[in-house]
Amino acid sequence: MIHNEFAPDIPVGTVLSRPKGLSLHRGIYLGNGLVYENTWKFGARLATFSQFAAKRKVKAEKVLKISARLIFRRVKASLGTPYNPLTNNADHAIARIEGAESRGAGAAYAYAALGLFVIALLAVARRPRFA
């Protein structure tokens, strides 16, 4: 666990996480106490370590296997991108910085499947029944 405001022993590119409701909020440590995060309120932005932590315990998950220079370039290009829970949440943002396929895309398919299921249930429930 990481508890302090500024931790010089955390490598640039470390994926950080902290509890947020029933899930985890994730970000990427950029050094000098700054974290790249993507939130519903601010979108993709730079936050201080304490803003990211929000008075919760922060855990280091992994270190990205790309250069700091590439991380900074990708972060700079994505700053200000609006948050979208289905297409641009914190997991999507990290996957883009990492250069990987987005892991959060499964959520979009799950919501679509759930929506179709609800529509089917409503159609069956409203169908007239004959004696």
Considering only the C-alpha atoms of the chain, give the largest distance between any 2 of them, rounded to a whole number of Å: 75
**Among the four given CATH numbers 2.60.40.10, 2.130.10.10, 3.90.340.10, 3.90.1720.10, the one describing domain 14-126:** 3.90.1720.10
What is the pTM for the complete model shown?
Answer: 0.73
How far, in Å, CA of 87 to CA of 101, rounded? 12
Answer whether 37's CB lies under 8 Å from 90's CB.
yes
- Indicate if the pLDDT at residue 124 is higher than 90: no
pLDDT in tens, 12-22: 999 999 999 88
pLDDT at 26: 96
Which of the four pLDDT bands, split at 50, 70 and 90, describes residue 76? very high
- Average pLDDT rounded to a whole number, residues 60-65: 95
pLDDT at 129: 66
- Indicate if the pLDDT at residue 42 is higher than 80: yes
